Structure 1
Amino acid sequence: MSGGMMTNRIAVLGAGVGLAVSAVVMSVGSAQAGADRAVVVGHRGSPGQAPEETAASYERALAEGAQVLEADVQLTSDGRLVLVHDDTLARTTDVETVYPDRSPWRVGQFTLDEIKRLDAGSWFDSRYKGQRVATLQDLLRINRGRAGLTLELKSPANSPGVATKLAQELNAAKLTDGATLKSGAYRVHVHSRDEAALREFHAAAPKVQLSYLSGGAMLSDADLDRLSGWTVSVYAHPRVTSAADVKRAHAKGLKVVSDPVDSPKEIGMAVNQGYDWVVTNFPETVRRVLDKRKETFRDARGVVVDSVFPDPGGDDVQPETGEHVVLRNTTSRAVAVGGGYLRDQAGNLLTIGAGYTIPPGSLLRVYVGPGTNRPGAYYNGRTAGFLNNTGGDTISYFGPDHALLDIGSYMVP
C-alpha cells in the first residue's frame, strides 16, 4: 500500500466479475468496529522504527502489538516471492553499489540469491546494517501464525504469474482456509489494484478473502455495490472521509480499512469514524491510542511536531526559507533536542544539530535545504525536497537515543 494518501481511482468492474468469495463476510453490525475492536495492521511491519519489509520490521511490529502484518509481494527472475514495495530495489537497498551496471534495478531483474546479497537496512539506520530483503517464507517463519497477513499483489505486470505462485505457497503452508482470527483479522487477506491478478489468485485459492485496493476518498455507492459482490473491504483515508461514508460502506457489507495513519490525531479520526482496520507505520502508537493510554508516547519530553511547511513559494530547498518542520516546546523549561532527528513516511531523514535547545514555550525550525544556522533554526543543507508524498505526509520526531517522542501529520489541499 502507498505511504501517502492515494489518488482515488475507481475501477469499473464488469458485471461478469464472478469472484465468489466463499468465506462469509462479517455482518454489518460486527463490522462497525469502534475503538475497542479496531484491528491494528503493521504497514510493511513497523517501518517508522525499522527498515520496511525486513525481519527487523516485522519482528518489531509483532512486539508492538500488530494484529495483522502487511507486505508487498513480487517475483524474482527465478520465480521466488520477495517482499518489496517499490518497483525497483534502489530506495531500500544498496543495489546501485553492488550491481552498478544493472539499472534500473527492477526486482524482477535479479535472482533471489542476488537479492539476498543486498543490505536492506543501512539506508534506514546503521543499526540495521545487514538486514536482508525478506521472502514470503521468511515472513511466515517470523509470524508463526501469531498475526493475520494482508498481502498485496504488487505491480503484477512486472511479475507475471505472481498471483498463482502466491496461492501455491499459501496452499502449501495450509493458510488458505479463509479463517478469521479472534482479533477480527483474517488469517490471510490478499489485495491489489489489479483486478485480473485478484481473479487469478482467486482461481487457485478461492477461500481467501480479497480486496480491490482503492484509497483516499470513499467510493461512490455504485462502486461499493460492484465491490461488495466479490471483496470484503474498501480502503480510504479518514482525512477525506466522514462517519457517514464509513456507514455507506458498512451498509454494503464491506469493512473499511485505513490508508496508513500514524499521528494520534489521524488514528483517532479513523477510530471515531468507525474504521474496522487501522493501518499504520507505528503499531505501538495505535495500540496506545486504542488503549487510551495517558501518554501516547511513553518517552515524550515536552517537544512536539507543531507544524509543517512542505511547499513554500519557490524552490523547496531555496536558501534560508525553504520547506521545514517546526518543533515546539510545550513546557516551561528548556529542552535539549540536539542530536535528535525527523523522518517522513518514506523514511527520509532530517537531523538536528548538536547542542540545540528549545527555550520554554518556543519554536525550532528544522529546514531541509541550506541556510545560516541560528538558535531558532537548523539547516540540513539537502539539495532535494523532503516532504514529497502526494496529499500529505507524517513526520515522526525521535531523540538522539532513537526514542519516539511525537508524530505529526499534515494534509496538502
Structure 2
Amino acid sequence: MNRVSMFAGGAVVAAALAVAGSAQASPERAGGKRGDAVVVGHRGSPGQAPEETLASYRNALRDGSDVLEGDVQLTSDKRLVLLHDDTLARTTDVEEVYPDRAPWTVGQFTLAEIKRLDAGSWFDSRYAGQRVPTLKELLAVAGHRTGLSLEMKAPANSPGVATLLAKELNAARLTDGAKLPSGAYRVQVHSRDQAALKEFHASAPKVQLSYLTGGKMLGDGELAELAGWTIAVYAHPRVTSAADIGRARAKGLKVISDPVDSPAEIAMAVHQGYDWVTSNFPATVERVLQRRAPFPAANGVVVDSVFPNPSGDDVQPENSEHVVLRNTTSRPVDVSGGYLRDQAGNLMRIGRGYVVGPGSLLRVHVGPGTNRPDAYYNGLTTGFLNNTSGDTVSFFAADHSLLDIGSYIVP
C-alpha cells in the first residue's frame, strides 16, 4: 500500500517563514504590499467556491489576491468565456440540459446556450445558479486595481482566440503593459502554445507574456530563447529547486508557481524564490506570507497522511484510497458533517456522529465499506486521489470553515 505522509504543519511553516523574515524579499518586490511574492487567485478562489465563476473571483478579491487568473475559450459565436476544461461536463449541468450534444465542448455552444447552464451546483448547492462568465464580466469584477492573468486554453480548439482576446483587451484599454502597486502586471497572458502567444503579441505588443512549462523547469537553452520575448515561466516547487529558480532569473525571467495550497508548499515556493505564488486558496497564501496562523478556524484535527494508491483497486471495499485525519489535541473533537476536497474539487464527506478521540485517527475512504468509529466510507465507485505525482487535500468543518490543507508528494 502506498502511504504518503503530509508536509510539516501550518504552525511549523509559519514559524520557519518568520525566521526567514524579509530576507526572502528581493528589491524587485519592495514596492508590493507585503514586500514579497505576488498572490494569484487560480481560477479565483476555487477551494471555497466553484472555479471560474464570479462567486469564485469575488472571493479571491475578498481574500486579498493581487491577480485573478482564468482560462479563456471561444463559444461557437466567437464570444470569450472563462472555463478550464475543454468540455463543459465537469463543472456545469450541460449533460442534463443538452443530453444529445456530447462531448459538450465549449466551441459547440453559443454564449446564450452556455448562459443557460448552472455552473455552481456541482460544487455546492449554496452556489446554485452561478453561470459561466464572459471575459467582460471578469473585467468588471476585477476593476483597475487587480491584475489579470489569462490563459489561452487549448487554442487549437478555439481558432482565432488570440486575436479576439487582444481585441477585447485593447477595447477595454488594458494593453498598455502597466505594472500595479502590488508588483503585478495589469494583464499578463500565458499558454502552453507558443504560436498562440506570438499571435496575441502581434495585436497587443505591450502585454506581458508567460509560458507554461508543465511543472518542471526548462533547460538553459529554452529559458534563454523564451527570455527574448516573454517575461516569466511557470513551474511547481514540488519538482523544482532554488537552483532552478536561480537559472530562470539569471536569464531575466520571473518564475510563477503552478497552484500551491498548503502552508508547506507555499513555503517551498517562497523559499525557492518564486516571484508569483498561485493558489486555489489565496487567503491561506496571504496568511502564510504575513506570518499569521494559516487556518483561523482550526480545531486541532489535521490532515495527517494520504493513501492514494492501495494494493488492488483504488475503490475496493474496505480498503480503498483514503485520507487519514489526526486529532493533535488532548480532547475529543467532533468532525460530524465535515468534508474533504482534492485540488480538482472532488468531495469526500464525513458522516454524522463522528468524534475523533484525543491523539487518535479517523480514516475517510473514497470507496465502499463498513463504517466504524475510526473509519468512514463514502461508497464512491471511482477513485480520484492523485497517485502519480501528488496533490493537495483540504479539510472543512460542517459550517464550511477551512480547518487544514495538506499536500503530499508521490515518490
TM-score greater than 0.5 by the shorter chain? yes
Q: Distance in 1 between matches of 2:106 and 2:207?
A: 26
Q: Is the 8 A contact 1:33 1:276 kept in 2?
A: no
Displacement of 1:145 in angstroms is: 1.5
Q: Is the 8 A contact 1:68 1:150 kept in 2?
A: yes
Counterpart residue identity of residue 344, structure 2: A
Counterpart residue identity of residue 332, structure 1: S
Residue 360 of structure 2 is aligned to residue 386 of structure 1: no
Residue 121 of structure 2 is aligned to residue 122 of structure 1: yes
Q: Distance in 2 between matches of 1:60 and 1:412?
A: 31
Q: Counterpart of 1:62 in 2: which secondary structure?
A: helix
Question: For each residue in 1:144-195, what CA deviation from the matched residue of structure 2 results, as whole angstroms up to 9, or x when unmatched?
Answer: 1231000000011110000000000000000000011111100000000111
Q: Counterpart of 2:326 in 1: which secondary structure?
A: strand
- Distance change (3 Å), C-alpha of 1:254 and 1:32: farther
Counterpart residue identity of residue 398, structure 1: F
Q: Is the 8 A contact 1:42 1:282 kept in 2?
A: yes
Q: Which sits farther off after the overlay, 50-59 or 32-41? A: 32-41
**Hey, what does 1:375 align to over in structure 2?**
373
Q: Is the 8 A contact 2:147 2:186 kept in 1?
A: yes
Q: Distance in 2 between matches of 1:291 and 1:79?
A: 42
Q: Is the 8 A contact 2:119 2:130 kept in 1?
A: yes
Q: Counterpart of 1:394 in 2: which secondary structure?
A: strand
Q: Is the 8 A contact 1:394 1:408 kept in 2?
A: yes
Where does 1:330-369 land on structure 2 (aligned, <5 Å)? 330-369=328-367
Q: Is the 8 A contact 1:31 1:250 kept in 2?
A: no
Q: Counterpart of 2:309 in 1: which secondary structure?
A: coil
Q: Which sits farther off after the overlay, 314-323 or 215-224? A: 215-224
Q: Distance in 1 between matches of 2:396 and 2:115?
A: 30
Question: For each residue in 1:299-326, what CA deviation from the matched residue of structure 2 results, as whole angstroms up to 9, or x when unmatched?
Answer: 0000000001101111000111110000
Q: Distance in 2 between matches of 1:386 and 1:47?
A: 17
Q: Distance in 2 between matches of 1:389 and 1:177?
A: 43
Counterpart residue identity of residue 345, structure 1: Q
**Hey, what does 2:282 align to over in structure 1?**
283
Q: Is the 8 A contact 1:33 1:275 kept in 2?
A: no
Q: Is the 8 A contact 2:31 2:183 kept in 1?
A: no
Q: Distance in 1 between matches of 2:56 and 2:233?
A: 25
- Which of 389, 396, 399 matches 1:398? 396
Displacement of 1:389 in angstroms is: 7.0
Query: Could you state the TM-score of these two structures normalised by the residue count of structure 2?
Result: 0.92
Q: Kindly, what percent of the aligned residue pairs are identical?
A: 75
Displacement of 1:94 in angstroms is: 0.1
Q: Is the 8 A contact 1:32 1:274 kept in 2?
A: no
**Hey, what does 2:245 align to over in structure 1?**
246
Q: Is the 8 A contact 1:300 1:406 kept in 2?
A: yes
Aligned length: 385
**Hey, what does 2:21 align to over in structure 1?**
none
Displacement of 1:143 in angstroms is: 1.0
Q: Which sits farther off after the overlay, 346-355 or 242-251? A: 242-251
- Distance change (3 Å), C-alpha of 1:199 and 1:254: same
Counterpart residue identity of residue 251, structure 1: A
Q: Distance in 1 between matches of 2:80 and 2:159?
A: 12
Displacement of 1:223 in angstroms is: 1.2
Counterpart residue identity of residue 360, structure 1: P
Residue 304 of structure 2 is aligned to residue 306 of structure 1: yes
Displacement of 1:215 in angstroms is: 3.0
Q: Distance in 2 between matches of 1:33 and 1:369?
A: 49
Residue 314 of structure 2 is aligned to residue 316 of structure 1: yes
Q: Which sits farther off after the overlay, 226-235 or 33-42? A: 33-42
Where does 1:14-413 land on structure 2 (aligned, <5 Å)? 30=28, 36-293=35-292, 295-388=293-386, 390-413=388-411
Q: Distance in 1 between matches of 2:83 and 2:271?
A: 32
Q: Distance in 2 between matches of 1:210 and 1:384?
A: 38
Displacement of 1:36 in angstroms is: 3.2
Q: Distance in 2 between matches of 1:248 and 1:33?
A: 24
Q: Is the 8 A contact 2:43 2:69 kept in 1?
A: yes
Q: Counterpart of 1:310 in 2: which secondary structure?
A: strand
Q: Counterpart of 2:238 in 1: which secondary structure?
A: helix
Counterpart residue identity of residue 335, structure 1: V
Q: Distance in 1 between matches of 2:65 and 2:76?
A: 32
Q: Distance in 2 between matches of 1:390 and 1:161?
A: 35
- Distance change (3 Å), C-alpha of 1:32 and 1:142: closer
Q: Is the 8 A contact 1:36 1:290 kept in 2?
A: no
Q: Counterpart of 2:274 in 1: which secondary structure?
A: coil
Q: Counterpart of 1:240 in 2: which secondary structure?
A: coil
Question: For each residue in 1:7-50, what CA deviation from the matched residue of structure 2 results, as whole angstroms up to 9, or x when unmatched?
Answer: xxxxxxxxxxxxxxxxxxxxx96279997320000000000000
Q: Is the 8 A contact 1:31 1:255 kept in 2?
A: no
Displacement of 1:131 in angstroms is: 0.2
Structure 2: state its 5+ residue gaps: 1-25
- Distance change (3 Å), C-alpha of 1:389 and 1:82: farther
Alignment root-mean-square deviation, CA: 1.4
Q: Distance in 1 between matches of 2:388 and 2:206?
A: 35
Q: Which sits farther off after the overlay, 79-88 or 238-247? A: 238-247
Counterpart residue identity of residue 321, structure 1: N
